[in-house]
Amino acid sequence: MRIPTPLYALGAAAAMTFLAGCSGGTSSVAPVGGASNLSHARVLNVAHVPSLGAPSFQNLVHPSQPGSMRSFMSPDARGITPTLYVSQFYTNDIQVYKQGGTNQSPIGTITNGVINPQGMFVTPNNWIYVANTGGNNVLVFDKGGTTAIQTLNDPNQYPVDVAVDTDGTVYASNIFATDGSPGSVTVWAPGNTNPTGSLTVPNNAKVLFCALDKFHNLYVNYIDINSGVGAMVKFKHGQGSAQLTNVVTNFPGGMEFDQLGRLAAADQIAANVSAYRLPSGTPVFTVASTGDSLGVSFSKTRSYLFVGDAVNGNVYQYVWKNGSLVDTISAGLGSSSPPFGVAADPGAPL
The CATH fold assigned to 83-344 is Neuraminidase (2.120.10)
The closest of 203, 141, 135, 212 to 170, measured between CA atoms, is: 212
CB atoms within 10 A of CB 290: 14
Amino acid letter, residue 246? N
Q: What's the rounded Cα separation, in Å, for the pair 309 and 292?
A: 5
Q: What's the rounded Cα separation, in Å, for the pair 113 and 92?
A: 9
Q: Are strands 204-212 and 197-200 parallel, antiparallel or unpaired?
A: unpaired
H or E segment to which residue 157 belongs: strand 157-164
Contact by Cβ (8 Å): 17, 8:
yes
Q: pTM for the full model?
A: 0.84
Q: Domain extents for the chain?
A: 83-344
Burial of 257 (0-12, 13-18, 19+ CB in 10 A): buried
Which residues are CB-contacts of 33 (< 8 A; sequence separation ≥ 6)? 16, 56, 57, 58, 59, 60
Q: What's the rounded Cα separation, in Å, for the pair 138 and 152?
A: 5
Q: What's the rounded Cα separation, in Å, for the pair 121 and 19?
A: 19
The closest of 261, 287, 285, 343 to 96, measured between CA atoms, is: 343
Q: Are strands 272-276 and 283-288 parallel, antiparallel or unpaired?
A: antiparallel
pLDDT of residue 259: 94
Q: What's the rounded Cα separation, in Å, for the pair 68 and 73?
A: 11
Q: What's the rounded Cα separation, in Å, for the pair 241 and 128?
A: 28
What average pLDDT values come out for the chain (350 residues) when binned by 10 residues?
A: 36 44 33 43 34 28 32 54 93 92 84 97 95 98 94 98 98 97 97 98 98 98 97 98 98 97 97 98 96 95 94 95 93 88 77
| Residue-by-residue DSSP string for 16-53 | EEEEEE--S----PPPGGG--SEEESBTS--SS-----
| Torsion angles phi and psi, residue 341, rounded to 5 | -115, 150
pLDDT of residue 348: 52
Q: What's the rounded Cα separation, in Å, for the pair 325 and 19?
A: 30
